[in-house]
Amino acid sequence: MTAESLHASATGLLEAWRPPVGSDSSLREAMLAFLGSAPRGCLREHAPGHITASAVVFSHDQREVLLTLHPRVGLWIQLGGHCEEGDETVPDAALREAVEESGIADLRLEPELYGVQAHPITCSLGVPTRHLDLLFRITAPKDAVPVRSSESTDLRWWPVDALPENAEVLLY
């Protein structure tokens, strides 16, 4: 991994993405401006904020979505996290995080950007920061059984039309 390859990946994804929701256009532009001023902005070390990689994991039939009850945030959210050494691109990071946090092998990632979100958070740096989250759509194989990792309070499939009240996930 290099800061340059992750930065180029994030920039290219955002430049190519056409948001399905109008309000996402301004967030897209803000993220591009951020990347223009932060050459190391895809790395956790960039304390003011950094790009993160998330996976919206759908069941094989697209009827359910896999969510984690995040211990620090206290909400049901998509899987994901920081870009790390060994991640050449942001989609690579999203897929790695999805496998690590779900325990499911053979996940199929759609390489184009699915959505964007921004979250104020105190992450592993221990100081308030911003996660500028790039989301990717991932499909699980049939009969996939998730296994909760140590990074989650709970992990389960939810019907896409019956998410829990305390869910914060982007579904288009």
pTM: 0.93
Tens digit of each residue's pLDDT (9 = 90 or more) over 26-66: 999 999 999 999 999 999 999 889 999 999 999 999 999 99
Determine the pLDDT at residue 1.
Answer: 57
Domain 3-159 fold is Nucleoside Triphosphate Pyrophosphohydrolase (3.90.79)
Spans of all domains in the chain: 3-159
What the block records as the tokens of 146 is 């998730």
121-141 residue pLDDT tens: 877 767 888 999 999 999 999
pLDDT of 125 reads: 67
